[in-house]
Amino acid sequence: MRFLLRRLLILLLTGWAALTLNFILPRLMPGNPIEAMLARYQGKLSPQAVGALEIAFGLNTRQSAISQYFTYFGHTLTGNFGTSISYYPTKVSTIIASSLPWTIGLVGFATIIAFVVGTALGAVAGWRRGSRLDKVAVPFSVMLSAMPVFWISLLALYFLAFRLNWFPISGGIGTSQSMSISGIGSIISHAALPAITLTLVNVGGWVLLMRNSTVSVLGEDFVKFGRSKGLPERVVAYHYAARNAILPNFTAFAMALGFVVAGAIFTEYVFSYPGIAYYLLQAVLSLDYPLIQGIFLVIVVVVLLANFLADMLYVVLDPRIRTEGRS
Amino acid sequence: MAELLEISGLTIGYGWKGRPMVTVVRDVDLALGAGEVLGVAGESGCGKTTLALAASGLLDPPGQVLSGSVRFQGKDVLSLSPKELRGLHLSEISMVFQASMNVLNPVMRIRDQFLDAMKYHGVSDRAEAEARAREMFDLVRIPQRFFGAYPHQLSGGMRQRAVIALALVLHPKVLFLDEPTTALDVVVQRSILQMLNDLRRQLDFGVMFITHDLSLLVEIADRVAIMYAGAVVEEAPARELYEKPRHPYTEALMKAFPPLGGERRRLEGIAGQPPDLRHLPSGCSFAPRCPKVIAGTCETIEPPVVEWSQGHRAVCHLCSQEEARVV
Amino acid sequence: MRAFFSNRLAMVGLGILVFFGLVALLAPYIAPYSPTDINFTPMLPVSANHLLGTTSQGNDIFSQLIYGARASLFVGLVAGAIMAMVQLVMGVFSGYVGGWTDAVLSTIVNVFLVVPGLVLLIIIAAYLPQRGLTTIIVILAVTGWAWGARVLRAQAISLRDRPFVEAARMSGEGRWRIVLGHIVPNMFGVIAANFFGAALYAVLAEAGLEFLGLGNINSVTWGTMLYWAENGDAVLMGQWLYLLLPGLCILLLGTAFGLLNFAVDQVANPRLRRN
């Protein structure tokens, strides 16, 4: 319990820090972003757009920096991210709300499948260290994780969608379909390539991590003891080796999720998949600051929450954390 | 007395790819009878742990048995299949390793670690298994409330006792104990040894007790064997060894340890280092450090095995020919 | 050291690295044309004159591929080294000193950990007016150091409590001397593995940024090549080699760093060593 409380505290602290970072970042950059925006759009910005910028940045020049900060804080907590510039007059929160589910589905799928498959494979490879499986799995996993995700997405798009027509070329759902049960088939076929490429690129990392973790657990005394009790190999492999080897993987979860989200940026871009990462990229390329800020924040919050979930799972799996014991 | 465990001419080596084999146990003959305690003493690295591992069928590569046999109730342990060996472990032959505090699986409750062992050795009724396990808890004097606890919730001494309980729960006939109390403080040491003695009387198993602390063995062992550089240099009933040690190494060992009880004595170390097993000196392996070395003989000629009628034998040039019979 | 050279994975990784190094060094001699020469007819297919065809701007693809090795290798090694350095300083210092410094630094690390590095990278790249390889290297160093710092910090902490460090402290050795003379030398394995990991990340991240057009789109890098391939409708024109090869090179270089990372870890980490 104490562990979870501590993690919750870190979560809140990190969230606050990220928020502040979001506030500070544009101010650190050379030049005033609003002036830069005005210059770029050469005065075509309406007063409302400028107002949207001000809300997003908290850059109300009539206020002091401190009160700007608090205004910004207040706005953020109430979900007021202002209005998008490139998609004017749509509000940032609307864009986020409509695109977030797509990304969560994609990223969620990729993360979970990559984790499950990668960990399982890594455990077997580590258990049978030095075997042919291990000797093949390791370099193969290294290669997979060195694969640029945008490249494999491009190739998949070109060969499987464009040339072979097995999958649609872009979008989240067919234009004639609706977001309902009947549209599920279309949703899946549109999500297939992005999901597969994203998973592929992330599997390797888990394989290597779990393999190394298993190998080092196998050297522990309690594994040898488990064997010396005369237990069958698969019992030792699962209850003694794997159950212990998987623990460090949860601490690596933070990094892993970050990678998947980052990878999603590329995948959604290449496949024109209407997720939040896609819009982030559009926002960045068109310098739509309110949208950038809004999405950035949401990404951070979601990643933080996912991490907290992973922490909770960790507590369930490692009794040493759960029960304050004496050593 | 029918011998429970017979080790004959056992020679064990450690071999790595591309490197010459290092012999760590040379031509060892030992026997253990039911209900008997055989102590095996020697410095670190003398091969006693390797000996025990091989004798209980737990020797893993790079260690391998080069020659000799280990017969348990007539059966050759070394030629059993892995499955047969597994059946033997814990139910007939048990081993308690050095530093057993870390030998328990940290993510499993202690109760479950008892139950899984019992289940795989034929005690299918869970209630009966639990009852027997709890009974062992009482015998080793661990409070029942720790039965469902996790290992980290017990103190080091309790964990050691739990491991001993686990080793005995299926009433094996032979128990190997490798430095079971070295990592514990003297008071706990005493109580554990006491408990082991009581258990032995109750359950009537044979014990091979391995340690570097000779004074301990003198108190609890029936017979003691002294090992040096992988070979047995002296073996005798405990009392006899204490009163009339024949081998200079045995004498030196005695002088190096304080007795658990009794008056304080001046301690003396043994000069020099144990030999490098890769380059054993010719002749007697103890000659370079022996205070009673016979120049010209000991360094060149292998010492003979000399036997006295009280079941006492030593491997040394010093032993007088008239009293003994050279084997 | 000997173990390293007898490790097959390490040798493969090293081999690939050396290969690309040679390509990068000898580029002027190997490439048939200058990569920035746009005098050729655009969108030519594969031919004897242009082994991989030409881009939509008129550059020879094959020459670009060869010169691209320079950029990726440069970014990988330099950004990798800088990141590794930052990680080392932050991690070891935080771990060894402990106390409030450690708490503050760790919180900072946690923040950077949670924010996906690449996301931050992209956003910062958007804010900056100037974009070139050096800029990319700098932002890589600023955003990508968190995880390695945490790993090194853990190492430093475990070393700090070892008896020989204790002894050095007792005998009055200065803090910096202890860190530099005792702790760091014992961490060479982890540091080296970390360096290769950072290099891998740098190569992929830089390529990613270039691909998105957030780098200098006039530079000659593999990522930029893919940017132009995508934007120049190589997909539609069937120039699949143009699509395949730059990415393959990134993959190979990345694999080299990845293999070295894994191999160094295998050699240096006592728990993974074959005994």
pLDDT score of A33: 57
Instruction: State how far Cα B18 lies from the chain centre.
Output: 31
pLDDT of residue B205: 87
Q: Scanning every residue of chain A, which has its alpha carbon at the shortest distance from the alpha carbon of C9?
A: A139
Restricting to C residues 213-232, those with a Cβ less than 8 Å away from any Cβ of A are: 213-214, 223, 226, 229-230
Residues of B in contact with A226 (CB under 8 A): 105
Position A293 scores a pLDDT of 79
Give the CA radius of gyration of chain A. 24
Percent of chain C clearing pLDDT 90 (strictly above): 11
- A180 φ, ψ to 5°? -145, -175
Q: Let me know: does B90 contact A230? Beta carbons within 8 Å.
A: yes
Give the C-alpha separation, C240 to A154, whole Å: 10
Chain A positions touching C244 (Cβ under 8 A) are 155
B233 against C158, higher pLDDT:
B233
**Partner-chain contact C147 A162, CB within 8 Å:** no
Residue B80 touches chain A, beta carbons under 8 Å: no
- A284, A286, A289: which to substitute to probe chain C, counting the most C Cβ within 10 Å? A284
Q: Which subunits sit against C, judged by 3+ Cβ pairs under 8 A?
A: A
Q: Are C66 and C225 in contact (CB under 8 A)?
A: no
pLDDT confidence tier of residue A140, bands split at 50, 70 and 90: very high
Greater pLDDT, A40 or A172: A172
Using 50, 70 and 90 to split pLDDT, how confident is the model at A210? very high
pLDDT, residue B64, reads 84
- Most A-contacting residue of C9, C104, C114, C250 (CB-CB within 10 A), to test interface: C114
**What is the model's pLDDT at position C199?**
92
Higher pLDDT, A149 or C169: A149
Residue pair B216/B40 in contact by the 8 Å Cβ criterion = no
| Percent over 90 (pLDDT), chain A | 13
- Tell me the shortest Cα–Cα distance from B174 to chain A, in angstroms: 14
Rounded to the nearest integer, the mean pLDDT of chain C is 81
Task: Kindly tell me if the per-residue pLDDT of C275 is higher than 50.
Answer: no
Contact A230 B106 (CB under 8 A): no
Euclidean distance between the first and final Cα of chain C, in Å? 16
Dihedral, CA of residue C216, residue C219, residue C223 and residue C227, to nearest 10: 70
Please tell me which of the candidates B91, B100, B120 has its beta carbon nearest to residue A232.
B120
Sign of CA dihedral C263, C264, C268, C269: negative
| Prior bond of B62 cis (ω within 30°) | yes
**Cβ-contact C91, C153 below 8 angstroms:** yes
Contact A18 C214 (CB under 8 A): no
- Reduce the DSSP state of residue C272 to 3 states and report it: coil
A129, burial (CB in 10 Å: exposed 0-12, middle 13-18, buried 19+): middle
Q: Is the pLDDT of residue A326 over 60?
A: no
From the list A158, A162, A265, the residue facing C118 with the nearest CB is: A265
CB A136 within 8 A of CB C235: no
Beta carbons within 10 angstroms of residue A43's beta carbon: 6
∠ CA C267-C268-C269, nearest 5°, is 100
From the list C207, C240, C255, the residue facing A158 with the nearest CB is C240
Q: Are C61 and C89 in contact (CB under 8 A)?
A: no
Cα nearest neighbour of A126 on chain C = C272
pLDDT band at A121 (very low <50, low <70, confident <90, very high): very high
Asked if B268 contacts B256 with a C-beta cutoff of 8 angstroms, the reply is: yes
Going by C-alpha positions, the residue among A23, A119, A101 that lies closest to residue A275 is: A101
Average pLDDT over residues C36-64: 76
Q: How far apart are CA C94 and CA C183, in angstroms?
A: 13
* Burial category of B98 from C-beta neighbours within 10 Å (exposed 0-12, middle 13-18, buried 19 and up): middle
The pLDDT value given to residue A327: 34
> Which residue of A218, A224, A225 to mutate against B (max B Cβ within 10 Å)?
A225
Cβ of residue C245 closer than 8 Å to a chain A Cβ: no
- Are B133 and B212 contacting, i.e. CB atoms less than 8 angstroms apart? no
What is residue A28's predicted lDDT score, i.e. its pLDDT? 66
Q: By three-state DSSP, how is residue C58 classified?
A: coil
Q: What is the pLDDT of residue C118?
A: 79
The whole-number mean pLDDT for each consecutive block of 10 residues of chain B, a chain of 327 residues, reads 79 81 87 88 83 85 85 86 84 82 86 89 86 87 90 86 87 87 74 80 86 81 89 88 84 73 68 77 81 78 80 79 51
ipTM greater than cut 0.90: no
Can you give the pLDDT at residue B1?
Answer: 45
- The answer to whether C254 and A147 have CB atoms below 8 angstroms apart is yes
Residue in A208, A266, A300 closest to C208 by CB: A266
By Cβ distance, the residue of B86, B105, B117 closest to A222 is B105
Whole-number Å distance between alpha carbons of B147 and C41: 82
Q: Alpha-carbon distance B161 to B168, whole Å?
A: 11
Mean pLDDT throughout C43-58?
74
Q: Which residues pair with B313 in a beta bridge?
A: B235, B307
User: How high is the pLDDT of residue A208?
Assistant: 92
Q: pLDDT confidence of A144, banded at 50, 70, 90?
A: very high
The pLDDT of residue C250: 93
Number of residue pairs across A and C with CB atoms under 8 Å?
163
